[in-house]
Amino acid sequence: MADERPSTAAAPADAFAGIAGQDGAVAHLRRAIATGHVAHAYAFVGPRGSGRKRTALAFAEALLDPAGGRGAELARRGAHPDLHVIEPTPPENNPKGPLALRVENIRELERLAFLRPAQAPVKVFVVGEADRMTLATPQAFLKTLEEPPARTVIVLILSQLRVLPATVLSRCQVVRFAPAQAPGTVALLPDGRAEGRQAALACLAEAERVGPSAILRAAEGLGRDREAAEALVETCWLWYRDLLCARAGAPAELAVFGDRAAAAAERAERLSPDQIVEALGACRDAWLAIQSNVSPRLTVEVLLGRLAVAA
């Protein structure tokens, strides 16, 4: 931050307690607090389930009350007046519509950001699922990042960098988060939703084996369930990532689906590197389509169709 950084010597001992597997990210944030070199804006980038939001809230706690007193307790309870958590919302005229970070969400952030802190030395804004910004939102956000209000820290939580324009990301300090690790099991996957991921793999296998009828059944089963569609797309991407690693001769322990490493190696032998890369491209396109609020059902139908052809 500029001239009005929070004056701290170190983060409270317990602010980052319990955050496992993210030593690099936590060390970076502790160092920023200890030296007073806290940026105005951060992008916490990593897969779901890696602890991005938990770390963001711990960072906020350390900034709001360096001494770890009453203010830290309020922050932990989500009751601190200078901590603002902004999440995607449905359209005002359609409560059941797709969740997104809209221009009005950013306008409210701007309004609050230009107010003086009520209690702490700084105000902290945690923007959850920043991947879900509408097309107009990044541009609305840009002015705040270009001319950040004094004593304000903004943390964007992202799954990947490419979903936001470079003009936005260039004004954020990027902190990367590693996937949650549990070698040899599908608990490596985002959110540790092993059962759902296994079901998604079964769905992919059936689509490749049976063809159009299986693809239509899978798409109909998802309907408008955006989260289920995201999980299926992520699973497909991770599976083909394993295939590419196997095709390149990478060690089996690098496989995300550790329990399927042998099957991945066998499957990879039947595909060319170009076919695998093409499948990864289809997964990327599907992910971007979902983030742009394309119908989950249509997105999954198109993706499974493309993967079945590639197979």
Tens of pLDDT, residue by residue over 152-202, are 999 999 987 777 888 888 899 999 888 765 444 343 344 445 556 777 888
What's the CA gap between 93 and 244, in Å, rounded?
44
DSSP 205: H
What pTM does this model have?
0.59
* Helix, strand or coil, per DSSP, at residue 26: helix
Structure confidence at residue 189 (pLDDT): 41
Parallel/antiparallel/unpaired status of strands 41-45 and 123-127: unpaired
Question: Has residue 32 got a pLDDT over 70?
Answer: yes
Helix (H) or strand (E) holding 42: strand 41-45
pLDDT digits (tens, 9 = 90+) for 115-133: 999 999 999 999 999 988 9
**Mean pLDDT to the nearest integer, 218-227:** 78
With contact defined as beta carbons under 8 Å apart, do 236 and 303 qualify?
yes
Parallel/antiparallel/unpaired status of strands 173-176 and 123-127: unpaired
What's the CA gap between 22 and 17, in Å, rounded?
11
Structure confidence at residue 196 (pLDDT): 64
What's the CA gap between 300 and 286, in Å, rounded?
7
**Mean pLDDT to the nearest integer, 62-71:** 90
What's the CA gap between 311 and 304, in Å, rounded?
10
| Total residues found in the chain within this entry | 311
**Mean pLDDT to the nearest integer, 217-229:** 79
What's the CA gap between 167 and 159, in Å, rounded?
18
Beta bridge partners of 127: 86, 156
Q: Which residues of 106-139 are buried (b: 16+ CB within 10 A; e: fewer)?
A: beebeeebeeebeebbbbbbbbbbbbbbbeebbe
Q: What is the DSSP string of 89-147?
A: B--TT-TTS--BB-HHHHHHHHHHHTSPPSSSSSEEEEETTGGGB-TTHHHHHHHHHHS
Alpha-carbon 137 to chain mean position: 17
CA distances from 274 to 173, 251, 287, 305, 311 (A): 35, 21, 20, 17, 12
What's the CA gap between 205 and 199, in Å, rounded?
10
**Mean pLDDT to the nearest integer, 50-61:** 93
Which strands, in side-by-side order, build the sheet including 83-86? Answer: 83-86, 123-127, 152-158, 41-45, 173-176
Structure confidence at residue 294 (pLDDT): 84
**Mean pLDDT to the nearest integer, 23-40:** 92
pLDDT digits (tens, 9 = 90+) for 7-16: 444 444 468 8
pLDDT, averaged across the chain? 83
pLDDT digits (tens, 9 = 90+) for 68-103: 888 999 999 999 999 999 999 888 888 877 888 989
Structure confidence at residue 311 (pLDDT): 64
Question: Has residue 272 got a pLDDT over 50?
Answer: yes
Give the count of beta carbons closer than 10 Å to the beta carbon of residue 157.
23
**Mean pLDDT to the nearest integer, 285-304:** 86
Q: What percent of the chain has pLDDT over 90?
A: 31
